[in-house]
Amino acid sequence: MSSGNESTPSQATVETTATSPAKVKEYPEPLASHEDVVKDLSLFWDTLRRFHSILATKFMIPVIGGKELDLHVLYVEVTRRGGYEKVVTEKKWREVGGVFRFSATTTSASFVLRKHYLNLLFHYEQVHLFNARGPLLHPTATFHAKDPSTSKEMALVEYTPPSIGYTSSFPSPCQGSSSFTAIGTIEGKFDCGYLVKVKLGSEILNGVLYHSAHPGPPPPVVDPNAAAVPYLEAGKRRRRSGKRRRSRRREDPNYPKPNRSGYNFFFAEKHCKLKSLYPNKEREFTKIIGESWSNLSAEERMVYQKIGLEDKERYQRELNEYREKLRLSAADETNVRVL
């Protein structure tokens, strides 16, 4: 009987292919211990990329709600609950999704997290958490064609056309209320609403339903005798005609270079080192450097903050000198005009 976190046949089955046994993919040796990849963010990303490279599988960081999905957090939260199979069996994907605090408009988060974990982290989990060996394993809990999170939902749609002001010269084309209610299906979801299909009599209509936390102003009343006036929604401004106002710093090459904070100096130093060590992983540098900054002691951080204060004094000094030169130059031009 196996001990520890080793995988068992009841958790997963061997993934077989139609090719010869010699071409069946097998799990590599663990690139690090599970405890180490959980604690060390840099080690996790390094081993995960190497793992996919060894298996020759595609690896891309998913984006949900406009932000990159933190695969390290996803791996930690799933493995601390017993791994992929146990989270599926005990239906804890919603609990895992709550850790990420997705926006209210992000729908089917549980389904998306499960899909990305299966594609990017399942085999990694088998090796580093369960110490799996031999041919690749296939999870017993797989997606079904009619997954609840992807099935169509019924939608009760009420539509009221915009009210238009009619005069005696332009009578209303119909009497009574112009709103109606219909039942349709939700074909898809996105951040701002739903794609719906509604059947009205023998006609099938496809459309988009938008939802907003702050309903907009009512549409303007149209007067056919008045000139057409463009309508601007509240909170939106017209673009100013002409060129944008440029800052003096962009126009004048003699303008002093703005100061940088202590964190900026720390970032530049660490970024240079990381780029030489990991030239193809720049997308993770910001997160890694931010965590390194948070882990600095007060004394270590003070070194960079002192450099930032010195640079701020430098900028203020050069800015005062620059302004003095402008003042003297303007005074000289005035004297020339007087003469």
Residue pLDDT, tens place only, 106-140: 667 888 899 999 999 999 999 999 999 999 998 88
Taking the CA atoms of residue 180, residue 185, residue 189 and residue 193 in that order, the dihedral angle to the nearest 10 degrees is: 0
Tell me the mean pLDDT in the region 6-32.
63
Asked if CATH classification 3.30.410.40 holds for the domain at 259-337, the reply, yes or no, is no
Residue ranges per domain, the chain? Answer: 34-130, 184-209, 259-337
Q: What is the pLDDT of residue 92?
A: 92
Between residues 339 and 308, which one has the greater pLDDT?
Answer: 308
Q: Strand 67-68 and strand 63-64: pairing? A: antiparallel
Q: What is the pLDDT of residue 2?
A: 41
Q: Specify the range with the lowest mean pLDDT, choosing from 88-102, 160-174, 179-193, 284-298.
A: 160-174
| H or E element, residue 12 | strand 12-14
Which range has the top average pLDDT, 130-144, 161-175, 293-307?
Answer: 293-307
Q: What is the pLDDT of residue 275?
A: 81
In which band, very low, low, confident or very high, does the pLDDT at 177 lie, cut at 50, 70 and 90? very low
Q: Specify the range with the lowest mean pLDDT, choosing from 200-209, 216-225, 237-246, 291-300.
A: 216-225
In which band, very low, low, confident or very high, does the pLDDT at 243 lie, cut at 50, 70 and 90? low
Out of 1.20.58.100, 1.10.150.20, 1.10.150.60, 1.10.3720.10, select the CATH number for domain 34-130: 1.10.150.60
Cα separation, 331 vs 264, in Å, equals 38
Tell me the mean pLDDT in the region 56-80.
89
Q: Is 214 helix (H, G, I), strand (E, B) or coil?
A: coil
Which range has the top average pLDDT, 39-43, 147-151, 229-233?
Answer: 39-43
C-alpha closest to that of 70 among 17, 3, 116: 116
Side-by-side strand order, sheet with 180-190: 153-159, 180-190, 193-200, 203-210
C-alpha closest to that of 210 among 226, 191, 228: 191
Cα separation, 327 vs 255, in Å, equals 14
Q: Specify the range with the lowest mean pLDDT, choosing from 25-39, 46-60, 93-107, 150-164.
A: 150-164
Tell me the mean pLDDT in the region 219-237.
48
Cα separation, 148 vs 136, in Å, equals 28
Residue 165 has pLDDT above 60, yes or no: no
